[in-house]
Structure 1
Amino acid sequence: MARPKHDLPDDDIEYVSKTEMKSEMTALQKLGEKLIPLDKKQLATLKLPERLYDAIIAAKKITANGATARQKQFIGKLMRDVDPEPINELLAKLAGLSDKHSAWLHRLERLRESMLTDPKVVENFVTDHPTVEIQQLRQLVRNALKERELQKPAKAFRELFKLIKQYIPEPALPGLEVSAPEEEDEE
C-alpha cells in the first residue's frame, strides 16, 4: 500500500546538521561568557531576561572551576532564547570605548612627557586651564625631572599625571545610557 504524500512543500523545511547546531550553541555560550565580566550598569542596558541576568551575576561569584564551567554552560543554554545581536553590538561598543580610553590615557602621557621637555607646554597648559595651581604644577615638573636625573622612584612623575588627569576629563561614554533598573539596588 502506498503512503499518502503530505501537502507540505519541501522548501519550507530548513535542514540543520547536528554539527551546525552544536557550533551555534557553542558560539552562544562563548557570547554569554563575555557578559560575565561586565558590570551591572552595562548588563542593564541589554534588558536581558531576569533568569539570564541572575545567572550572569551568580557566575561572577563562583570560584570553583567545575562550578564555573557548569554555570557557563547554563548561561549558554539561557542564551538560546535571547537575540544575540544587541549583545554583540554592546561588546563591540565597549571594545571601542576601551580604545577611546586608551587613547585618552596616551594623550595624557604625551602631555606629561612634553611638559618635562618643553617649558612652553606648561605655559600653554596654564593658559588653557586657568584654575590649575601654577606653583604646584611647576614644582611637580621640577621634581619629576630631578627624579629622572637621579634615577629615583617616579613619585612626582605619577603626581603630575594625576594633576593633568583632573583637568583633562575622560571622554564621555556614548551609547551606554542606563534606563533605571528597578532591581539594581537589592544586592
Structure 2
Amino acid sequence: MVTENTHELETELVEEGEEYLSRSEKKRRSTAIQKIGEELASFPISAIRSFNLPPDLLQEYEELHSITKHEAKRRKMQYIGKMLRDVDIEPIRARIEEVKEGKAAQSADFHHLERLRDRLLQGDKEAMNFIVESYPDVDIQKLRQLVRNAKKEIEKQKPLKSSKLLFRFLRELEQS
C-alpha cells in the first residue's frame, strides 16, 4: 500500500512538470556541490572575490579563511555547501576550471623555460639557435654573457645569481 502511494506521488510530480529526484540522487547532487565549495575554498580570498559570488556567500568564505579550528571549518563548509544549493553552480564550476587550466599552462611554460635554460648552460648550440630564430629582437650579446656568467658560477659553486637572471631574461623574451 505504501509503495502504491509513493508511486502515485511520483507520477503526480512528473505530470506537474517537476523532476522527481530520489533521496540518493539528492545526496549525490549535494555532495557534488559540497566538493565544488571545497575547491573554491582552496583558493585565496582575493581569487574568490573574482568569482562574482553573492555577497552573503562571499562573506561566509571570508569568515572561513579566518577560522583555525578543524571542526569549526567543517561546520562552516557544510553551511557554505547548503548556501551553494541556491546558487547557479555552473558559472562557478567553469571559472574553477579556467583557473586550473591557467595554472597548468603557467607551470608548463615555467618548465619549458627551465629546460631551455639548462640546455643553454650545457652548451647546446641548437637551443641558442632556437632562441635567435624565435625571437629576432633578442640581445644576443646579453644572452651569451648571462650564459657565460652562469656557467662560471656553477663551476665555482657560487650562488646562482646569473642563472636566475638568465631565467628572467628568457621569461621576458617569452612574454614579449
Whether the 8 Å contact between 2:154 and 2:160 is mirrored in structure 1 is: yes
The answer to which structure has the higher helix fraction is 2
Please state whether the residue corresponding to 2:27 is helix, strand or coil. Answer: helix
2:77 paired residue among 72, 88, 109: 72
Q: Using the TM superposition, give the Cα deviation of residue 16 of structure 1 relative to its aligned residue in structure 2, in angstroms.
A: 2.7
Give unpaired runs (5+ residues) of structure 1: 171-187
Other-structure match for 1:81: 86
State whether structure 2 residue 95 is matched by structure 1 residue 90.
yes
State whether structure 2 residue 161 is matched by structure 1 residue 162.
no
Q: Using the TM superposition, give the Cα deviation of residue 79 of structure 1 relative to its aligned residue in structure 2, in angstroms.
A: 0.4
2:109 paired residue among 79, 96, 104: 104
> Greater RCO between the two (CA within 8 Å, min separation 6)?
1
Calculate the TM-score normalised by the size of structure 2: 0.74
Whether the 8 Å contact between 2:57 and 2:80 is mirrored in structure 1 is: yes
Task: Give distance in 2, aligned partners of 1:63 and 1:129.
Answer: 53
State whether structure 2 residue 41 is matched by structure 1 residue 56.
no
Task: Give distance in 2, aligned partners of 1:68 and 1:134.
Answer: 55
Whether the 8 Å contact between 1:25 and 1:80 is mirrored in structure 2 is: yes
2:148 paired residue among 138, 142, 148: 142
Amino acid at match of 2:41: I
Other-structure match for 1:181: none
Amino acid at match of 1:34: E
Tell me how large the CA RMSD over aligned residues is: 3.1
Whether the 8 Å contact between 1:109 and 1:161 is mirrored in structure 2 is: yes
The number of residues matched between the two structures is: 164
Q: Using the TM superposition, give the Cα deviation of residue 133 of structure 1 relative to its aligned residue in structure 2, in angstroms.
A: 8.2
Whether the 8 Å contact between 2:13 and 2:20 is mirrored in structure 1 is: no
Whether the 8 Å contact between 1:36 and 1:57 is mirrored in structure 2 is: no
Q: Using the TM superposition, give the Cα deviation of residue 40 of structure 1 relative to its aligned residue in structure 2, in angstroms.
A: 5.1
Change (3 A) 1:63 1:85: same
Change (3 A) 1:11 1:17: closer
Whether the 8 Å contact between 1:144 and 1:157 is mirrored in structure 2 is: yes
Calculate the TM-score normalised by the size of structure 1: 0.70
